[in-house]
Amino acid sequence: MAAGFAQWGNDLYSGKRSYNIVGHRNRWFLFSGALVALAVTFLLARGLNSGIEFRGGSQFLVSNVSNTSQQIATDAVIGVERAAVPLVSLVGGNSVRVQAGDLTADQVTAVRSALASGYGVATPDVTSTFIGPSWGADVTQKALRGLVIFLVLVAIVMTLYFRDWRMAVAALVALGHDLILTVGVYAAVGFEVTPAGVIGLLTILGYSIYDTVVVFDKVRENTAGVADQKRHTYAELANLALNQTLVRSINTSVVALLPVAAILFIGSFLLGAGTLRDIALALFVGMIAGTFSSIFIATPLQVALRARERGIAEHTTAVLQRRVAADVAVTASGVPAAITVSAAPLHAGGHLGTAAQPKRKKRRSPGNPKR
C-alpha cells in the first residue's frame, strides 16, 4: 500500500496523473458555500455555549473522590440553587469540576457541604471560586483584536511576498471559511466555548495559512513567465501546482490530526478529560477545514481572480485557439483526431508529454527485395 501511495504521489508530481481541481472550481465554491450556510444556520439557531469564563458564575472543584459520578454533583447543586443544571466535567482521574450560576455566599457554603457529603470527602477538598463576566469580555476583546491584527499582517506579508494581492485575498477568504466552519461545528455539537477553545481557533489560523502558502509558492513557481509560452494556460499550470502539493498536504494533515484525534476521542470521550474537549475540537475541525480550503478554495479562487486580468484572459484565449488550430491541422492531415497535442498529459515544469505518433510504413526501392 505504501508503494502504491508513493507511486500515486510521483504520478501527481510528474503530471502522469492529474485531477482538474481548478477547472471544477465552481463546484467546490458551491459545496463550500453550502457548508458555510449550514454552519451559520446552526450558529443562529442554537448559538454558542459560552463557558463560565465568559458568562460568569461560581465554580467548584472536588478533589480526591473515589466515585466520579456526575449525577452526584448535579443533585447537590440543584438541591441548593434549584435553578439551571450545572455543567459537570472530570478533571484528571479523581477530581470533578462543577460550574454553576451566580450564587450567594450562603449558597456557596451549602453547595460545598452538599458536594463533600455526596462524594464522601472532607469539606476542605471542595474549593470554590467566583468568575465575573468582565474577565470573559476582556478575553473576547483581546482575541478579536489579535484576530484582526493577524489578518492584516497576513494580507500585507502575502501581498509583498507573492507580489500578488489576489493571493492575499484568496488566503483571507480561506481563513474565514475555516473559522466559520469551526464555530458552526461548536454550535452544532453544543461544546462549551472556553478560552482554550479560543486559543485553538487562533492556532488553526496559523496552520491553515501555512498550508496555503506552500501551495501558493508552487503556483508562483509554475506560473513564472506564463505569458512567454503558448502551450499551457495559467489555470492549467496552477492546477499542476495543486496536484504536485496534494500528497504533501494530505501527509501533513494526517500527521497533525492523529494526536489531536487521540485527545478528542480517546482523552475526552473515553477517559473523561472534559477540559480537553474544547481545544481538541477546534484543532480537529480547523485542521480538516484548513486542508480542504488550501486545496479547493484558496488556489481556485486566486485563479478565478487572475482570470479576470486582461493579459491572462488574452493569453488563455491564444493558447486555446492554438490548440484548436493544431487539432484541425492534424485532423486534416489524416491523423486520427484523438492523437493531438492537446490530448498529451501535462508534466512537471509545464511541458506536454510527447503525443503518440502513428507508425509509418517503410518504402522499398524498386531494386530492394522484400526481406
341 and 249 within one domain = no
pLDDT value at residue 352: 40
Residues 238 and 320 in one domain: no
Between helix 234-261 and helix 277-293 the angle, nearest 10°, is: 160
The verdict on 90 and 200 lying in the same domain is: no
The answer to whether residue 336 scores a pLDDT higher than 70 is no
Same domain? 252 vs 293 = yes
- CA 59 remoteness from chain centre: 34
Residue 365 domain flag? no
Contact 73, 154 (CB under 8 A): no
Please state the rounded mean pLDDT for residues 326-344. 57
- What cell numbers appear for 350 in the block? 509545464
pLDDT at 252: 85
User: Considering the domain boundaries, does residue 364 fall inside one?
Assistant: no
| Per-residue pLDDT tens digits for 6-46 | 677 677 776 677 789 998 999 999 999 999 999 999 999 98
Nearest by Cα to 88 from 123, 43, 119: 119
User: Which residue would you say has higher pLDDT here, 131 or 294?
Assistant: 294
Q: What local confidence, expressed as pLDDT, does residue 196 receive? A: 78
* Per-range mean pLDDT, top range of 94-108, 150-164, 341-355: 150-164
pLDDT score of 71: 83
If pLDDT is split at 50, 70 and 90, which confidence band does 339 have?
A: very low
* Residues 203 and 339 grouped into a single domain: no
Q: What pLDDT score was predicted for residue 30?
A: 95
111 and 139 inside one domain: no
Same domain, 72 and 195: no
Q: Are residues 141 and 209 in the same domain?
A: yes
Same domain, 44 and 65: no
Give the CATH number, domain containing residue 176.
1.20.1640.10
Please state, in angstroms and rounded to a whole number, the distance separating the CA atoms of residues 255 and 275.
23
Domain count of the fold of the chain:
3
Residue 343 is given by DSSP the state G
- How much is the pLDDT for 275? 59
- Among the listed ranges 174-188, 190-204, 232-246, 288-302, which one has the minimum average pLDDT value? 190-204
pLDDT at 357 over 60: no
Which residue, 308, 323, 357, sits at the end of a domain? 308
| Summary mean pLDDT of the chain | 79
Where in the sequence is the domain holding 333, given as residue range(s)? 312-346
Same domain, 192 and 69: no
For residue 192, the model assigns a pLDDT of 77
Assess whether 148 and 118 both reside in one domain.
no
Which letter, b or e, does each residue of 279-312 get, where b requires 16 or more Cβ atoms within 10 Å of its Cβ? bbbbbbbbbbbbbbbbbbbbbbbbbbbbbeeeeb
pLDDT of residue 37: 96
Q: Is the pLDDT of residue 168 over 70?
A: yes
- pLDDT reading at 324 higher than 60: yes
